[in-house]
Amino acid sequence: MAERVCIVSGGNSGIGFELCRGMAAAGFHVVMISRGAERGQPALDKLQAEFGDSIEMMLCDMSDITNITKLHTEFTAKFDRLDVLLNNAGAMWGHRGTTTQGHEMTFGVNHVGYFVMTQTFLPLLESTDGSRIINTASEAHKMARLKLGDLNREKSRYSQWRTYGNSKLCNILFTRELARKLDGTGTITHCFHPGVVKTRFGSGSSGIMRLFWPLGRPFMVNSKKGASTGLHLALSEDAATTTGEYWSRSKRNRGNRHARNDDNATRLWQLTEDMINE
Ligand X SMILES: NC(=O)c1ccc[n+]([C@@H]2O[C@H](COP(=O)([O-])OP(=O)(O)OC[C@H]3O[C@@H](n4cnc5c(N)ncnc54)[C@H](OP(=O)(O)O)[C@@H]3O)[C@@H](O)[C@H]2O)c1
Residues annotated as catalytic are 164
Between CA 66 and CA 80 the distance in angstroms is 21
What are the residues binding ligand X (CB under 6 A)? 10, 12-16, 35-36, 39, 61-63, 88-91, 109, 136, 138, 193-194, 196-197, 199-201
- Each as own residue / partner, the long-range contacts of residues 164-167 (CB below 8 Å, 24 or more positions apart, any chain) are 164/92, 164/93, 164/106, 164/110, 164/138, 164/140, 165/138, 165/140, 165/141, 166/106, 166/107, 167/90, 167/106, 167/107, 167/110, 167/111
Nearer to ligand X, 184 or 218 (CB): 218
**What is the DSSP secondary structure assignment for residue 142, as one 8-state letter?**
G
Residue nearest to ligand X (CB): 14
Contact yes or no for 230/197 (Cβ under 8 A)? no
Q: How far is the CB of 205 from ligand X (least distance, A)?
A: 11
Which residue number, 165 or 244, has a Cβ lying nearer to ligand X? 165
Nearer to ligand X, 61 or 83 (CB): 61
Between 27 and 36, whose beta carbon lies closer to ligand X?
Answer: 36
